Amino acid sequence: MKKTVFTGAATAIITPLNANGIDYESFGRLIDWQIASGINAIVVVGTTGEGSTLTNEEHESAIRFCVERVAGRVPVIAGTGSNDTAYAVELSRFACDAGADALLLVSPYYNKATQRGLLESFTAVADAVDKPCILYNVPSRTGCNILPATAAALADHPNIVGIKEASGNISQIAELAALVGDKMDIYSGNDDQIVPVLSLGGKGVISVLSNVMPKETVDICRLFESGNVAASRELQLKLLPLINALFCEVNPIPVKAAMAAMGFCDNYLRLPLTPMESDHEKKLLSLMREQSLI
């Protein structure tokens, strides 16, 4: 059986930015708060971390900074996937050398690879590194769906240990779980589906919500794993309005606004992302006040 990278909730952490680049002071404070709040792992420079608009130097610097700041307190998973397999290999090797505990590999976007292309691309990256790899299936953003049979074939690779499933298709995730057994850990990639994925044998969630509410996101997983499914479900449903507000515009626009309201960063995004629409922001902040977050 392969080693599990983490169980519970991992935060797909934002990257605090300003006009000068990455705000490392805010980034460090946020990392420390996440760990103090009990988060089980941190995913750096993924979708929520705006990895797609960071320069290569910034991408590498953010990974190195996060690894050094975390200092082994929880696993650090570096987002190193790309639509260019050669670049994904290069960035993945860097992350391994920088001390990341694992890699998160999004399916190649825009290119819309065939299933054979996915097999060969992910295999090329996994062959090139010595750290665990977690695949990331998010067809709504990439235009490319990692089908269960493809994921099952990739699960035979010794370095491919998990998948973040953000297809939103519970039937597909059930089929995946049936095919991979204990060869691949499954993580929910959608905060509104944590409990359903756990019920299919999932190990946890790679979460946007946990930027704002790390303790509660961990609690959803912890309660389920301890056998208190009713309390886990109750907390999942209680937080559903906030979860929906955090995805009413494309991620990470709402969560950046939320974290800025909590004083963790500037509400600064890089084009093509723009600040949240005012009516959406008012609703988000109202829900945050209901949770005593601001």
Q: How many residues are recorded in the chain?
A: 294
Answering whether pTM is above 0.95, one says yes
Q: Is 268 an active-site residue?
A: no
**CATH number of the domain encompassing residue 50:** 3.20.20.70
| Bridge partners, 162 (sequence order) | 134, 185
Catalytic pick from 2, 87, 164, 183? 164
Q: Residue 252 falls within a domain, yes or no? A: no
Chain centroid offset of residue 138 CA: 11
Q: Residue 65 falls within a domain, yes or no? A: yes
Q: Residue 247 falls within a domain, yes or no? A: no
| pLDDT higher than threshold 80 for residue 1 | no
Q: Is 164 an active-site residue?
A: yes
Structural domain range at position 181? 8-216
Catalytic pick from 2, 3, 136, 238? 136
Helix (H) or strand (E) holding 188: strand 185-188
Q: Out of 1-5, 89-93, 105-109, 169-173, which region has the weakest mean confidence (pLDDT)? A: 1-5
Which of 6, 7, 11 shows the shortest CA–CA distance to 189?
11
Q: Residue 40 falls within a domain, yes or no? A: yes
Q: How far apart are CA 153 and CA 179, in angstroms?
A: 9
Q: How far apart are CA 275 and CA 294, in angstroms?
A: 19
User: How many domains does the structure of the chain reveal?
Assistant: 1
Q: What is the pLDDT of residues 209-247, one digit of tens each?
A: 999 999 999 999 999 999 999 999 999 999 999 999 999
At 191 the three-state DSSP class reads: helix
Q: Residue 109 falls within a domain, yes or no? A: yes
What is the DSSP code (8-state) at residue 271?
Answer: T
